[in-house]
Amino acid sequence: MATGYNKSLLNYLLNRRDFVPGTELSAVLGVSTKTVSRIVKHVNEQSTNGMIIESQRGRGYRLNSSNYFAQRDLNAEAGKPGVLSSVERRDEIIKRLLITAPQQYRINDLWGKFYISESAIAVDVRTLRSMLAKFDLDLARSADVIWVSGTETDIRRAMASLLVTDDDIANGQFMHADHTVQQRDVAFVSHQLDLIEDLTHAQVPYPYSVNLFTHLYILIERFRGVGALIDEGEQGNADEALMEHHQEITQVCEKVIGNFDVYLGSALPRIEVYYLYQYLTSSRIDFAQLDPHEIPDDVRELTYELIDHVAEDPAFRTIDKQALFAHLSLHMKPLMNRLRNNIRVANNLLEQIKLEYPYLFSKVSDACRELERRHGLARIDDEELGFITVHFAQAVERAPMPLNLLLVCTTGLGTAQLLQAKIAKRFSGFNIVETVSSRNLAQTLAKYSDIDLVVSTVRLPDEVAAPTLVVSAMLTTEDQDRLEQEANRIRREAMGR
C-alpha cells in the first residue's frame, strides 16, 4: 500500500488532521500537483477497504484514518506466516521446477503437501505455464508428471526475473534453504564482483551490479540443482569473433569462471564464459564506455532517431541534442547488447518516473516503438524506457522550455512596459507575447491559445483561464523568486501533463 512517493504522502497526511492543499503536498514531495493527484489515485486503487485519501476541490487532500488503519491491518494479516496464498504456493513450485529443470516431478510431489483440489492444481498449472511462456519456456506434462522444458539461457532468464529481486539481494534472502551454504555462496559471488572491478579498473554501477550478482548466483543454484545436466548451449562464430576482439573482457570472464570451477569442484562448460561476457558487455561499465565520437554507426543512428522523434514535440524542442547524444549514446550501446542477449535490467524507480514524467515517458515509449518497427529491434520494456526517460528529463531541465507570457496592467502601457523591460533583463526563456490592459485581457487570451502564464500588476478575476501571477511593477526580489518558482511548476506540469 505504501512505497516511494506513496509512503511519503501517507506519512505526511498522518500528521495532519484537516485537508492539506495540493500545492503544499507538491512542495513537500518535490513533484507537480498533477503528480500528487496521480499518487493519490494510485494509493486509493490499491485499497480494498474504501478510499484512503479523500479529496475536495478547493480544500485539498485528507487521510481517511479509519480506512487507512483497516487496510493496514488487512495487509499485515495477509503477511502473517501460516497458510500460503496461491501466489506464494506457485512461487515455491516454480522455484523448484526452474532450479532443477529439466528434472521431472509427479504432480503429487509438488502439490500434495498443500492439500488443494484438482481444480486448484489445474489453475496453478495454467498460471505457471503462462508465466513461463514469457521466457519461451514450456511447462510440459505427461500423465501425472510435469517439468520445465527450454534452453539454459531461457531458464536463467526466468530465474533472474521470477526468483530474485533487489530486495532479496539487499536483505540477503536468496533461494537456498541452507543458511550457512547460502551465506558462503553470497560471499563468494560478492568476491567475484570485486575481482571484476579490480581487473577492469572500473566500478560496476547499479543496476548492473545487481544483474551480475544475480547471474552468478543463479549459476551456482543451477549447478547444485542439476550439476552436469546443465545445457552447454550454442556459441556461433560471430560470438567467438566478438570475444576475440574484446580480449580484455574475455580474459576477465575466463578468470571468474575458472574461480567457479574451483569453488564448485567441477569444470563448467565453456559457454559460461560467453554468458558472463554477454552480461559484462551489456552493462554500462567504465571500461566499456566510448567517447561519443567512437560510438558504432548503428548505435549513433538509433540514438539520433530517438532524440529527433521526441524533440518533434513542442514541449521538448529546446533540448540540446548534441549534449543529450553525448550521454544517451553511452547508455544506448549496452542497451542494444541487452536487447540482443535477452538481458533485463530492473529499474526500482520506474513507478516514480512514470508518476513524475508521464507525458515524457509516453513520448519516449512512442519513439522506441517506432525504432522497434523500423529497425526490427526486440521490444524495449518499461524498465529500459524509464532509464531513457531520465536522460531526456535531465536534458529538458538543462534547457528549460520557453514560456509564453502575457503582461497585464491597468492601461497596458507604462507599468506593463516597465515590467517587460525588467523581466527581459533578469530572465531568459520567456517569450513576452503582448502587454495589455486588464479590461482587454479576456479578448487577448481568446486571441492567443498558447499563453503559459499571465503576469499582472493588478489583481485579476478568478475566472481567468490561464495561470496568473500578481507582481509589483518594480519586480522585487521576492517577485522574481515567485516568478521563477511558477515557471518551474508550469514546466514540470508540461513534462507530466
Beta strand ranges found along 75-117 (DSSP E): 105-106
> In a structure prediction context, what are the per-residue pLDDT tens digits for the chain, which is 497 residues long?
445 678 888 888 887 778 999 888 888 887 888 888 888 988 888 888 789 999 988 889 998 887 887 777 666 655 544 456 788 888 889 988 998 888 899 999 999 988 888 998 999 999 999 999 989 999 999 999 999 999 888 898 888 888 665 544 444 444 555 555 578 888 899 999 999 999 988 888 877 888 888 889 889 888 887 765 555 556 656 667 778 878 888 999 999 999 999 998 889 888 899 999 988 888 877 544 445 566 889 999 999 999 999 999 988 888 889 999 988 998 898 899 899 888 888 887 888 888 888 899 999 999 999 999 999 999 999 999 999 999 998 888 887 778 899 999 887 677 778 888 899 888 878 999 999 888 888 889 989 988 999 999 988 887 888 899 999 888 898 999 999 888 888 877 776 66
Could you tell me the CATH number of the domain that includes residue 28?
A: 1.10.10.10
Beta strand ranges found along 170-270 (DSSP E): none
Could you tell me the CATH number of the domain that includes residue 106?
A: 1.10.10
Same domain, 190 and 271: yes
Same domain, 55 and 147: no
Same domain, 253 and 343: no
Which domain does 273 fall in, by range?
A: 164-288
Q: Which of 255, 270, 288 is the last residue of a domain?
A: 288
Backbone angles phi, psi at 412, to 5 degrees: 90, 0
Q: Which of 46, 78, 110 is the last residue of a domain?
A: 78
Instruction: Give how far the C-alpha of residue 5 lies from the chain's centroid of Cα atoms, to the nearest Å.
Output: 14
Same domain, 333 and 407: no
Spell out the SS3 assignment of 177-188.
CCHHHHHHHHHH
Dihedral (Cα; 399, 404, 407, 408), 10-degree rounding: -140
Same domain, 296 and 283: no
Same domain, 182 and 265: yes
DSSP for residue 20: B
Same domain, 260 and 173: yes
Same domain, 192 and 241: yes
Residue 351's identity, in one-letter code, is E
Count other Cβ atoms within 10 Å, centred on residue 149.
14
Same domain, 169 and 128: no
Considering Cα of 12, then 15, then 19, then 21, what sign does the dihedral take?
negative
Beta strand ranges found along 47-107 (DSSP E): 53-56, 60-63, 105-106
Q: Which of 60, 78, 96 is the last residue of a domain?
A: 78
Could you tell me the CATH number of the domain that includes residue 330?
A: 1.10.1790.10
Cell for 2? 505504501
Cell for 326? 553525448
What does the chain come to in residues?
A: 497
Same domain, 416 and 474: yes
Ramachandran region of residue 60, left (φ > 0), alpha (ψ -120 to 50) or beta? left
Report the number of distinct structural domains present in the chain. Answer: 5
Give yes or no for a contact between 409 and 437, defined as CB atoms under 8 angstroms apart.
yes
Beta strand ranges found along 359-495 (DSSP E): 403-409, 430-437, 453-456, 468-470
CA atoms within 13 A on the CB side of 293: 0
Same domain, 344 and 384: yes
Same domain, 284 and 171: yes
Could you tell me the CATH number of the domain that includes residue 481?
A: 3.40.50
Q: How far apart (Å, rounded) are the C-alpha atoms in residues 296 and 228? A: 39
